[in-house]
């Protein structure tokens, strides 16, 4: 698995977190949209797919109806969780997280990078409150996605809020919005020259033209929603899913309400991020898959939640 999109903590020396927080309290977050029960074709075997990510074979999936958040969890929503519980994220426990070098100042001290992906920098003090390190903050970014959030952090939020993470199948079905194309709106990345998601423009990683209006994260509803009413399902930030990741899982997946492998060492990520670029990472498509360790965090990973099933 390459590290172009979102490196895991395994790419640097692992440390032991200093605390393990358990929190449980109901506080259901904002607007949900309904995805009706039905069948869709999951995966991709076209020339745009990454076979090594296990995007194929394309297979029929039947899902029960569910309700999913219209947008990813915002910095403001995550702050409410932290203020109510005192929760400490994995990035805070480890004392660092990964930040894209292009978002750091020219005078930022040299820090450890990722072999093969030097644009990722290990930044001490980077976390959801300080996305680019201790001198940064989230003032004015309250409606942006919470980032530097690990799968474990997302799971803790869900336990508190009385929600859950989507399964990988639920995520893809919801992201498609009823379509069968690469993007929720069709197969053209920029139809009629219009930017419909937040991805890297220019020459990666040196020059970002910011033609879509954003260098880093965008507000969670910065672009028009898909056919189901979901915002920013491609680009902006990667989104954690509940499932363990396995490149061969599609070949043995059950047809109704699949839930992923029973075991694994990496959790599924979906949707791509503001760093995706055709020249090196075209994982900004609704079928694209990625993964990382459950305790990993970066400046381009967030999450979206699903309403817990009614009793």
Rounded to whole angstroms, the Cα distance separating 305 from 33 reads: 11
pLDDT the model gives residue 4: 55
Question: Percentage of residues in the chain with pLDDT exceeding 90?
Answer: 83
Q: Per-residue confidence at 189, pLDDT binned at 50, 70, 90? A: very high
Rounded to whole angstroms, the Cα distance separating 93 from 74 reads: 21
Q: Per-residue confidence at 26, pLDDT binned at 50, 70, 90? A: very low
* pLDDT digits 0-9 by tens, 30-44: 699 999 999 999 999
Nearest to 276 by CA among 304, 240, 300, 241: 300
pLDDT the model gives residue 2: 54
Tell me the two tokens of residue 127.
């976390």
Q: Which CATH architecture group holds 33-307?
A: Alpha-Beta Complex (3.90)
Residue 281, judged by CB atoms within 10 A of its CB (0-12, 13-18, 19+), counts as buried
* pLDDT digits 0-9 by tens, 45-101: 999 999 999 999 999 999 999 999 999 999 999 999 999 999 999 999 999 999 999
Question: Could you give the residue ranges of the DSSP H alpha helices within the chain?
Answer: 75-85, 90-94, 151-161, 168-176
Q: Which residue has the higher pLDDT, 19 or 274?
A: 274
pTM above 0.85, yes or no: yes
Nearest to 81 by CA among 146, 131, 20: 146
């Amino acid at each position: 698995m390459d590290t172009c999109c979102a490196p895991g903590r395994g790419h640097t020396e692992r440390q032991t977190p200093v605390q393990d927080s358990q929190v449980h309290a109901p506080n259901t977050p904002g607007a949900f949209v309904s995805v009706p029960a039905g069948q869709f074709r999951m995966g991709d075997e076209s020339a745009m797919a990454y076979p090594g990510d296990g995007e194929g074979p394309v297979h029929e999936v039947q899902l029960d109806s569910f309700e999913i958040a219209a947008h990813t969890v915002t910095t403001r929503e995550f702050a409410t969780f932290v203020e109510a519980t005192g929760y400490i994220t994995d990035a805070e426990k480890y004392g660092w997280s990964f930040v894209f070098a292009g978002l750091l100042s020219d005078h930022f001290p040299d820090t450890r990078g990722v072999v093969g992906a030097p644009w990722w920098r290990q930044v001490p003090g980077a976390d959801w409150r300080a996305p680019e390190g201790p001198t940064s903050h989230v003032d004015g970014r309250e409606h942006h996605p919470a980032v530097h959030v690990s799968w474990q952090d997302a799971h803790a939020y869900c336990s508190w809020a009385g929600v859950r993470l989507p399964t990988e199948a639920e995520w893809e079905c919801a992201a498609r919005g009823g379509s069968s194309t690469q993007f929720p709106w069709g197969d053209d990345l920029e139809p009629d020259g219009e930017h419909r998601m937040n991805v890297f423009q220019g020459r990666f990683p040196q020059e970002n033209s910011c033609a879509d209006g954003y260098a880093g994260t965008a507000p969670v509803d910065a672009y028009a929603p898909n056919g189901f009413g979901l915002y920013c399902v491609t680009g902006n930030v990667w989104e954690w899913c509940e499932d363990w990741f396995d490149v061969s899982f599609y070949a043995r997946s059950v047809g109704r309400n699949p839930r992923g492998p029973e075991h694994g060492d990496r959790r599924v990520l979906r949707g791509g991020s503001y760093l995706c670029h055709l020249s090196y990472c075209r994982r900004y498509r609704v079928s694209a898959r990625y993964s990382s360790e459950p305790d990993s965090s970066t400046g381009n990973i967030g999450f979206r939640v699903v309403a817990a099933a009614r009793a």
